[in-house]
Every structure is written in C-alpha cells, then in structure tokens.
Amino acid sequence: MFGLAICLVLPVVAAIVLDRLFPLPLPESGGGSTVVLARDGTPLRAFADAGGVWRYPTTATQVSPLYLQALLTYEDRWFWKHPGVNPYALVRGLSGGLLHGHVVSGGSTLTMQVARIIEPIPHTFGGKILQILRALQLEAHLSKTQILDLYLDRAPFGGNIEGVEAASWAYLGKSAAHLSRAEAALLAVLPQSPSRLRPDRHAERARVARDKVLRRMRDSKTWSAAQVASAMIEPVSARSLRAPMNAALLAQRLHDQAPQRRRITTTIDAEMQRAAEDQVADYLARLPPRSSIALLAVDNATLATRIYIGTGAFADAARAGHVDMVRAPRSPGSTLKPFLYGLALDDGLIDSQSLLVDAPQDFDGYRPGNFDEAFNGPVSVAEALQRSLNVPAVDVLDRVGPTRFMARLANGGVALQLPEGAKPNLSIILGGAATKLEDLVGAYTAFANAGVAGAPRYTPEQEPRRRRLLSPGAAWIVRDILSSNPADVEGAPIAGSVGHSDLAWKTGTSYGYRDAWAIGVDGRWTIGVWIGRPDGTPSPGQYGAVTALPLLFRIADMLPARGGVPFPKPYSVRAMDVCWPLGGAADQTDPSLCRQRRHAWILNDALPPTFPDRGSGAWMDPRVVLRVDAAGRRLSAGCHGRGEHTITIARWPALVSPWLEVDDRRQEGLPPLAPGCSPDALERAEAIRITGLNDEAILRRAPNADKPLRVTLRALGAQAPVEWLVDGRLQASAPGDAPVTLDLDQPGAHRLTALARDGAWDSLAFSVMDN
C-alpha cells in the first residue's frame, strides 16, 4: 500500500515542481494593443502594441454564436470535455507521424493551439510533447472559458492581425458579433494557415477552406443542409487590410488619458462620424492650402458627442493634421455675442427690440468698426445680433462690464484666455481673447436647455457637467432671434422653408481672417464648425458666413431627428409692442412720441428705456418737456409769452441723426427760441458744414490721369473729432475742422457724411462718373 501511495504521489509532486520551474508564459493582462470604439462597438481607431500587432480585446460572450459553433465543431468538438488533449486525435496524429516520418495530422486541441499561441513551439515531436504539457498546464490553471477567450483574443489571422474581432473588422468591416454562417466558417478556418488563406489576397483558397468547414457543419448536423447550401452561395470578399481611422484625434486624446486601457468606448456615432468626415474631406478641397477643419456635434439632451473631427486631414503635415483644433485655443470672433445679449436681457438692460446705435463711437480710446466697414445708424438688438454688428455689442458690453461678462462665461464653462498681461476689456466681445470649440459648443447647448450649459461628453462613463449660464427666458429670446437669422450662402434655407427653420446659428471671424466659425442649435443638436490654419496665419477672404456656415448647414442636413422647439417659451417672456426712440410700451406712449412701433419679446416685464447718449457734452434725456408760446417758439428759464403751454419731444440718440428719415429729424427738432429769450443750452451741438464739395456734385477724373480722384474736405464749425463716412462706411477721422483728403474713385451715386462725436453732423450727395 505504501509503495502504491508513493507511485501516486510522485507524479503529482513532479508535476507541481515542473509547473513551478516552468511556469506558463501567459500574456500580461494589461498588455497589448488598444482599440477605441464607437458607442455601438464599431472600432474608430486601434493602437498597435509594442510589436506592431493589432488586436481588439474580446471574449466568448462578445462574438457570434455561429462563430463559436463553427470553431468548436471544426477545430475541437470535445473542447468542453477533454483535459487539454484529445487522446484519440493525439494517437492518430502520432501514429501518422511515425508511419510517414513527419507530422501529417496534428491532433491538436484548441487548448494545445493556445499553448502554441502564447509560446513559440517548434513543429517537431519534441515540440509536440512540450505543447501537450503546456496544454495540461493551461487546463490546470485556467477555466475552459478563459482558454477559449485566449484563443479568440490572440489567434493569428494573417499580417499583423490577431484575434477574431480584429480579423472580422479588418477583412469583413463588421464586428464578430454579427457574422453570417459563411463569414463564421471563413474566420474559423483562417488561423490554420493565415498567410495562405488570407481572403484579401487568396480569395479562392479561402473559399475552398471555408466550404470544407461548412460541409463539416452540415455532416455533424450542427447546421442544416439548407443553411449550409445558402452559406456556400455567399462569395468570399474581403477589404484590403487597413486599420480604422475615424475620430482619430479623439481616440488619441482618450488613449493618452488612459494608456493602460485596452478597450475604450466613446459616445461617437460611427455612421454619423464617417458621413461627417466624408463631408469635411470634400469641403476641405475647396479651401486654401494649409487650411484645416474642426467639427463637433453634441446631443443636447445627454451632452453626448456624436461627431468629433479635430482636423480636416489627419496626419497631413501641410495642414498640421496632428493638431486637434477641437481643443485648441483660438479667437472666437463674434460667437460670444449671443451670451452678451442674453446677460443684458437678464440684467433688464434691453429687450429684443431695444434701440441701439450703430455709428462711429469712441470708448475711452477704443474705436471699433463693423466687419463690412459700414454703419447703419439706429438698429434693434435683434438686428445687431443677427447682423453681428460690432459697435452696438461693444456698447452693451461697456454697460454690462467686461470683467463680469468673463466671469459669467467662465461659470458657464467658457474660460476665456487673455493675452499675457491683459485685463478684461471691451475687445473680448470681438474676439480679443481665446477659447476652444468644445467650450463654445458646450455653452451654446444652453440655448436648447433653458439656459443651462454643459461640457460635451466623450465617453459613456463621463458624468454630465451642467452650469447655469442664462435664465430660461433670456436663452429663449436669444435663440428665437438666432433662429430667424437670414443667410445668403450655399446650403442656406429658403425663407419660410421647413429645412433649417428651427436652426439657430451664429458665425464669427477673428481679426485678420485667421478663424472662421459657425455654431448652430436646434431642438436635438448643437453643432460647431471651425475653419482656419492651425499655425494661425491669415486666410484672406475666408470668414464665418461664407466659409464655415455652408458646412454647418451640410452637417445639420445629415443629422437624424432634427427639429422641434428646444424648450417652450417660459412664462417670464411675453410679447409687447415698444416704441422708438424712447423704448417704452407702445400702449403707454403718446402716439406723437412713438416714431416707430416694434414688436418685441420682453423678459420679466422689464421695459428698459433707450440707452442715454455717451459723453458729457451729448444730450442725455430723450424725453424733452418744453415751454412754448402760442407761436410754438421755445421759452427758456425766466422767459414768458402769450399762450404759454408745454410740449414733449422724443429725441433720438444724437449719433443716429444722419440715418433718420426727414420727418423723424423734423419731429425731434427743437423749436426756435422766442425773441428776447436767453439761450438755454438745449441744442445738442453747434451746426457744422462740409466744405470742399458741393451737394449733388458730379465728379469725373481727368482724362488719362493715373492718380485716384481725391478731394480735400473740412467740417467747418466742428468742435469735437469728426468721422468721415461714404455710404455709411468709415473713411477717415480728423480733429475738429482739420482738413481731410479722401479718395473718391468708385463710380456711381454716393452720400458723404461728417459726424462729430458730440452729435453735430452734415451730409451731402455726390456722384462719380466713369471716364
């Protein structure tokens, strides 16, 4: 009995000792390649391991049952029962080898194949013994499921492809979870001779081998004869091996954040991403050299990012394709204006139709102009925002305060970056600071989410970060203004059409044509587009409305389930008619003082008056109550006359006078002083008169002259600095009545205006004739 016990114990002890001396060379659990996936499991980008191998981590629960049936039926139908080796198959293989002098039938189980996968073993009799021992070790240390997972994850499929998931995507363009019977049979047989049977190179050989598997499936009754016959009809076709490369820079970003993760799932929609990348590639071809494009599309409800394009041409050195422009700080141009007007609404400073002044103004030395270099005089808040006028925006920011505006943006997720040493200033509303596309898109979701902004999410586990940016009412009013924004560009909606009627959008262009922006919001999506050169060099002629906006409309058209109102009109918002120039409610204003009636959205029943004029010498009160005599002449203090009574005059802001209709100017004019009354200082400014050019003058350049047509002008009587405008476009500035020389070469009829900063002005018409 003792001897028998020794005989039984010694092999066990020997096995334990050998197992300790020669441990299994199992692959490290954290090693290998990384795959970044779309939300449906589609690979977006794979990062090879140190050996250059592409492997997508997978398990038996993640592949098609059809593939497991084909694999186990063809390779090892006793897999779940044997201890690692199949004695019958092994005896058959060894006897054949002894008879023929070499291995003719391997007899290898799936476990034995895994042993050869994890450790190089020569194809010799000695190698076969080692393979058997390693198989027994595997069965002792791992479960059957773990062994199967090792095979699925690391079986060779040709080239640098390992694992059934990587092979399925590489050859078939689909996940191993969705294989047909023919595809399952093909992938089951490929590891037997991966180089000889590669379907992208040897389709006929691969078909013959596949059909052999299919016949085995039929003969074993695993699949019916009809199912196999149908599978055999299916041709063998494979794509050329290439690694997936969608949302490449997002994949790089997430991989850099978690380099040890082997499988990273994103919120990206694979089909939408591919379609958007095709659109961007097509659009990029029309742009100047070295241009790039960044694009982000976010689901408003969840903040999940469905499209992420960080570059127009990944790895294109000429376009700096390695630079992710989704998160690169750039000048936002005018894209911050909606938030400024929203904040001013919340502060009760404006309603949607408040009267603003679009005319040359000086803000303590800062003198902004408009993008088209023209001025428009009196404009509403809605017009100023839709037309992206600069001077009214700077005026509003000056009253809100740039420091407070920046703080509110930062609270909403937009942290503006100022130039080194700079403090918050008025230029930030025109792009004088830097921000990122992803921050802008996150902030614009506030216009679909009742004023609550949120950071775009890139992975399902990323928690939503939401912050209050505007009140629901302010967000609704701004979105309503932007959704009525007319656009005369490629892909723009026809007025009254359904297509983009719900899309609220805003463009922006940075100084020097370095950045072109377009951001759009509808009931489902927020979309952001940036176009420019990553190195920051200018692209003359490329600006938001003509460069970025058409691409925004293209992307909006391809997105699913567009439309719908982002959120209903809040109770804090109601419609009301207001009056210009005073700004009060129309039904509470004397009709004689209501020169223009405007249909406005008001917030919290606030009815703010028109902003007062700037400057200590300017007229400050738009509502003037005067004493006049029976002849309508003005009576100053201490002066009286027959039929004395009071009248009220509504005065427009001084700087818009040149743009007013004749009747409006007449109605706001002061009556003359009655004889004997002393001056009352109610006049805005002394009158000025343009000299150097007569009203209705016709100009013609001298024949054969090679110099431009020039005229020297003066504004006689001007006490304050004078802005000289032709057709509303600023041409020059001069101190007081100092002379100024203008080039007047453009043929046609024109209007010349001299506008002093104290409100005094003069204007005349002239024409330039062709030679």
Q: Could you give the percent of the chain with pLDDT greater than 70?
A: 88
Q: Are 294 and 278 in contact (CB under 8 A)?
A: no
| Virtual torsion, Cα 52, 56, 57, 61, nearest 10 deg | -150
- Report the range of poorest mean pLDDT among 27-31, 67-71, 108-112, 161-165: 27-31
Non-local (6+) Cβ contacts of 689 within 8 A are 715, 716, 717, 762
The pLDDT of 653-679, averaged and rounded, is 86
Please give the residue that has the higher pLDDT: either 756 or 534: 534
Active-site amino acid positions: 75, 334
Please give the residue that has the higher pLDDT: either 159 or 43: 43
Which pLDDT band, with edges at 50, 70 and 90, does 496 fall under?
very low
pLDDT above 50 for 104: no
Q: Where does residue 717 rank: exposed (0-12), middle (13-18), buried (19+ CB within 10 A)? A: middle
Query: Of 347, 759, 382, 350, whose CA–CA distance to 583 is shortest?
Result: 350
- pLDDT (0 to 100) of residue 98: 52
- pLDDT (0 to 100) of residue 636: 87
- pLDDT (0 to 100) of residue 87: 77
pLDDT above 90 for 244: no
**pLDDT tens digits, one per residue of 707-741:** 778 888 888 777 788 888 888 888 888 888 788 88
pLDDT above 60 for 4: no
Q: Is 8 helix (H, G, I), strand (E, B) or coil?
A: helix
The pLDDT of 631-656, averaged and rounded, is 88
Residue with token string 């007449």: 666
- pLDDT (0 to 100) of residue 518: 97
pLDDT above 70 for 537: yes
pLDDT above 80 for 499: no
Which pLDDT band, with edges at 50, 70 and 90, does 17 fall under?
low
Q: Where does residue 538 rank: exposed (0-12), middle (13-18), buried (19+ CB within 10 A)? A: middle
Helix H or strand E encompassing 399:
helix 390-400
Please give the residue that has the higher pLDDT: either 612 or 467: 467
- pLDDT (0 to 100) of residue 7: 46
- pLDDT (0 to 100) of residue 90: 65
Which pLDDT band, with edges at 50, 70 and 90, does 84 fall under?
confident
- Report the range of poorest mean pLDDT among 88-102, 149-163, 273-287: 88-102
**pLDDT tens digits, one per residue of 574-599:** 999 999 999 989 999 999 899 999 99
Q: How many CA atoms lie within 13 A of 609 on its CB side?
A: 14
Which pLDDT band, with edges at 50, 70 and 90, does 195 fall under?
confident
Please give the residue that has the higher pLDDT: either 97 or 634: 634
Q: Are 245 and 255 in contact (CB under 8 A)?
A: no
The radius of gyration of the chain's CA atoms, rounded to the nearest angstrom, is 39
DSSP character string of 682-697: -SSS---EEESS-TTE
- pLDDT (0 to 100) of residue 18: 58
pTM equals 0.83
Beta bridge partners of 716: 689
Please give the residue that has the higher pLDDT: either 159 or 90: 159
DSSP character string of 574-626: EEEEEEETT-SBGGGS-GGG-SEEEEEEEETT--PPPPPPPSTTS---SEEEE
CA 322 to CA 60: how far, in whole Å? 36
Q: How many CA atoms lie within 13 A of 286 on its CB side?
A: 12
pLDDT above 80 for 471: yes
Please give the residue that has the higher pLDDT: either 465 or 619: 465
- pLDDT (0 to 100) of residue 617: 47
Please give the residue that has the higher pLDDT: either 91 or 234: 234
Which pLDDT band, with edges at 50, 70 and 90, does 495 fall under?
very low
> To the nearest whole number, what is the mean pLDDT of the chain?
86
- pLDDT (0 to 100) of residue 311: 95
Q: Are 478 and 341 in contact (CB under 8 A)?
A: yes
pLDDT above 80 for 493: no
CA 431 to CA 418: how far, in whole Å? 10
Q: Are 482 and 508 in contact (CB under 8 A)?
A: no
Q: Are 701 and 771 in contact (CB under 8 A)?
A: yes
- Report the range of poorest mean pLDDT among 73-87, 485-499, 711-725: 485-499
Q: Are 266 and 36 in contact (CB under 8 A)?
A: yes
Which pLDDT band, with edges at 50, 70 and 90, does 618 fall under?
very low
pLDDT above 90 for 151: yes
**pLDDT tens digits, one per residue of 363-418:** 988 989 888 778 899 999 999 999 999 999 999 999 999 999 999 999 999 999 99
Non-local (6+) Cβ contacts of 40 within 8 A are 269, 270
Which pLDDT band, with edges at 50, 70 and 90, does 25 fall under?
confident
pLDDT above 70 for 652: yes
Cβ-based neighbour number of residue 657 at 10 Å: 22
The pLDDT of 697-702, averaged and rounded, is 79
Please give the residue that has the higher pLDDT: either 653 or 701: 653
Could you tell me the strand order of the sheet in which 634-635 lies? Answer: 634-635, 623-628, 645-650
Which pLDDT band, with edges at 50, 70 and 90, does 558 fall under?
very high
Q: Are 45 and 245 in contact (CB under 8 A)?
A: yes
Q: Where does residue 191 rank: exposed (0-12), middle (13-18), buried (19+ CB within 10 A)? A: buried
- pLDDT (0 to 100) of residue 156: 92
